[in-house]
Structure 1
Amino acid sequence: MIATGVVASMAMGAGPASAAASSVELPEGMTASYLVVDQETGQSFGSDEHKQYRSASLVKLFIALDYLESHGPDYEIPADDLALLEPMLRSSNDDAASTLWVRDGWEEIVKRMVTELGLTDTAPPTARGKWGYTAISAADIVRTYQYIEHEANPKYRDFILSNLAQSTKCGSDGFDQSFGLPSAVPGPKAVKQGWSGFGAAPAPGEQCTETDAQVLRVLRSPEVKAATAVASSGDGPTGAQDIDLTSRAMHTSGIVGGDNGKIVVVLTLEPTTLSWQDSAARITELTRNVYYDCAL
């Protein structure tokens, strides 16, 4: 059975323009929302872009931006903090995210970003230690990229986007994070991936073994150990929340084409019966179709 995407309205902050008319088919069992914005023309294309999903690692965009804005543009980031921020952005390191989450105020990070960016669908997790259960939407993640690229201090923009442009093939947890945009679309990209519900590590034989020791470096300090004892991406039991915390989540997002390029956000939920490889193949194909069928 095939579900069909529906054209969406403009994302907040994208400016007035007409939306491209098209549709994208979804594989059976997949729930998906997506939004593409051409920053040159202001045109957009999407489906169900205000539907809420658990963020998984996309919340790391908020964590990084909040860190930079809280310290100011003249702040020289210490080497120890670079060892958290860089692996978090490039290799989606969870221990780094947990450390900054706890240090900088837990759910207050999300609340500050909602206010600062004017997000409409984003909300903190019900269980404050589970940062990956932050509620987001495709529209709000598009808005986040717009803010970073055009409204944030240029130092913050350059730091975040340059690190996303160095996204590694392997996540710090051993999962291959080259699904979606990195595999579906050619050319320069600054990307942030997210996944949840696949377990703490890949199944035997499925590990991603290409590593960059410098990028994947994370401090093994008392602060990191203490933070990871009380905060995590969120896989596991939690209190009630008005988003799906059961299905496997896999998200791809970023800016394609360099400065002022297209912003692409694809959020998906998959049945727990699907493997990592199957889910990765399905979101990659969907992302390819969304990007090329939108004709922006």
Structure 2
Amino acid sequence: MFRIARHSSPTFRRTPPRRLLAATAALLLLSVTGAALPHSVAAATEPSDGGSTAVAPASPQVPAGVTAGVAVFDRQTGTFTEQLAPAATFRSASVVKLLIALDFLWNRSPDTLPAADRTRLDAMLRSSQDAAASHYWSAYGGSAIVGRMVTRLGLTDTAPPPAGYEGYWGYTAMSARDTVKTYRYILESAPAPVRSFVMDRLRQSTRCASDSFDQHFGIAGAFDRPWAVKQGWSGRYAQGNCGPAGAAAARGTDVPGPASPATGGASVDLSRPALHTTGTVGAGDRSIVAVLTLHPDGTSYGKAYTDLGRLTRSLNVPGGTAPKGKWYGTWGQDVAVRAAPVVGDNLLTRLPAGVEVLVGCQKKGQQVSVPPYTNDWWAYLPQYGGYVTNIYLSHPDNQLPDVPLCTNPK
């Protein structure tokens, strides 16, 4: 979490007390987000450089408190460039939807599917729709789906949900190396129509998932396209607020967890918040990336999103290119991203609370007041295609010192 000082005069060059931020943020309800907003946040992050080919440290940089399983496979050389606890098992959350889709398509051609199945699979793979996964789980054998795919793909760490949780497909155990093996099957062994059907939908991943969570974290934030992703999240996060409506949606069936960890055929933590990013990066799907993570109890979605992003950006991913810009922390809840640097009927989406964002450029726009702060500078977020007022970026000056001016007329 981050704390921020925003000022229009020298009087407020230091961050005010947290109580003052909470008490004065009510103006944001009307002028910036249209939703109940901010709680203040802790110390600001330092921006990091972007815009170069992704070259990483010698080992993955795992944020404090995070448990991670990592595997990065370079298909061009046939070698792993990163492995960190690659056999460790995690509850898969929505990553298991890859296995559910492959099982359904095993003896079927995507070209001959009924329209209803094409619609379900499209929503399940692009927008991580839970209802679609639950349909196939119920109709085609539940845990037997996992058993079939373990045999077919030669998976070594994957196991069905533990006893007592057979209906929770998201509690399927998976490892980073089995996730890589699953993608290798899709890319190298699956029938061409199946490969195209699945990968095309992962390349078209929607920013807002069906349950209104912003799912363009990890791979989708760390690298420029081309990439394809299947993400996963599970835990007691606040409900999603992604999209123009900014409305919270019902939790998916893989999200609720028991009060304490449970174990089944594989020892899998079902309690701590999970956030996973998996997919391919680079031309020709050069690298397969699997980053599975667990976070401390009580971790916010924005904090987990940020920590997973930092871990993913630290990886050696051949073919991956880091996006241009500077990374900044944010504060506040439901902060609006707008199509132009003005307040009005132009809402694109809302940021997860406290998330780190990539700033591409900045420009002056409508003056926004959140007492004691007043600011007319806005930051352009290229990965969202819109602007946020600089008030909510973790830097003590109105204008960011290391971010260029926007040259586009928008």
Identify the TM-score tier after normalising by the shorter chain. 0.7 to 0.9
Q: CA deviation at 1:273?
A: 2.0
How big is each residue's C-alpha offset from its partner over 1:109-141, in whole Å with a ceiling of 9 and x where there is no partner? 100100000000000002210000000000000
For structure 2, which runs of at least 5 residues remain unmatched after alignment?
1-55, 246-251, 321-410
Q: Which residue of 1 aligns with 2:287?
A: 262
SS in 1 for 2:284: coil
1:187 to 225, 232, 255: 225
How big is each residue's C-alpha offset from its partner over 1:143-184, in whole Å with a ceiling of 9 and x where there is no partner? 000000100111110000000000000111111101100000
Contact 1:249 / 1:270 at 8 angstroms: preserved in 2?
yes
Q: Which residue of 2 aligns with 1:56?
A: 93
Aligned-partner residue type, residue 70 of structure 2: Y
1:87 to 119, 123, 136: 123
Aligned-partner residue type, residue 112 of structure 1: R
For 2:314 and 2:149, the matched residues in 1 are separated by 31
1:278 to 280, 299, 303: 303
Residue identity over aligned pairs, in percent, reads: 45
TM-score by length of 1: 0.80
Q: CA deviation at 1:258?
A: 3.5
2:103 to 66, 80, 92: 66
Contact 1:133 / 1:234 at 8 angstroms: preserved in 2?
no
Q: CA deviation at 1:21?
A: 9.5
For 1:74 and 1:292, the matched residues in 2 are separated by 31
Contact 1:199 / 1:235 at 8 angstroms: preserved in 2?
no
Q: CA deviation at 1:199?
A: 4.4
Q: Which residue of 1 aligns with 2:315?
A: 290
Aligned-partner residue type, residue 225 of structure 2: G
User: Structure 1 residues 200, 111: closer, same or farther in 2, change over 3 A?
Assistant: farther
Q: Which residue of 2 aligns with 1:103?
A: 139
Q: CA deviation at 1:292?
A: 5.2
Q: Which residue of 2 aligns with 1:217?
A: none
Does residue 143 in structure 1 map to residue 181 in structure 2?
A: yes
Q: Which residue of 2 aligns with 1:118?
A: 154
For 2:232 and 2:192, the matched residues in 1 are separated by 25
For 1:86 and 1:43, the matched residues in 2 are separated by 31
Does residue 209 in structure 1 map to residue 243 in structure 2?
A: yes
Contact 2:87 / 2:175 at 8 angstroms: preserved in 1?
yes
SS in 2 for 1:33: strand
Contact 2:57 / 2:314 at 8 angstroms: preserved in 1?
no
Q: CA deviation at 1:84?
A: 0.9
Q: Which residue of 1 aligns with 2:60?
A: 24
Aligned-partner residue type, residue 147 of structure 1: Y
Q: Which residue of 2 aligns with 1:33?
A: 69
SS in 2 for 1:26: coil
User: Structure 1 residues 159, 210: closer, same or farther in 2, change over 3 A?
Assistant: farther
Q: CA deviation at 1:106?
A: 0.5
Name the larger-Rg structure. 2
User: Structure 1 residues 178, 77: closer, same or farther in 2, change over 3 A?
Assistant: same
SS in 1 for 2:283: coil
Q: CA deviation at 1:232?
A: 2.8
Q: How many residues align?
A: 253
Q: CA-atom RMSD, angstroms?
A: 2.4
Aligned-partner residue type, residue 269 of structure 1: L
For 2:92 and 2:59, the matched residues in 1 are separated by 25
For 1:185 and 1:74, the matched residues in 2 are separated by 29
User: Structure 1 residues 23, 79: closer, same or farther in 2, change over 3 A?
Assistant: same
Does residue 42 in structure 1 map to residue 78 in structure 2?
A: yes
Aligned-partner residue type, residue 315 of structure 2: V
TM-score by length of 2: 0.58
For 2:244 and 2:131, the matched residues in 1 are separated by 19
Q: CA deviation at 1:239?
A: 5.8
For structure 1, which runs of at least 5 residues remain unmatched after alignment?
1-19, 212-230
Contact 2:286 / 2:319 at 8 angstroms: preserved in 1?
no
Contact 2:205 / 2:228 at 8 angstroms: preserved in 1?
yes
Contact 1:169 / 1:178 at 8 angstroms: preserved in 2?
yes
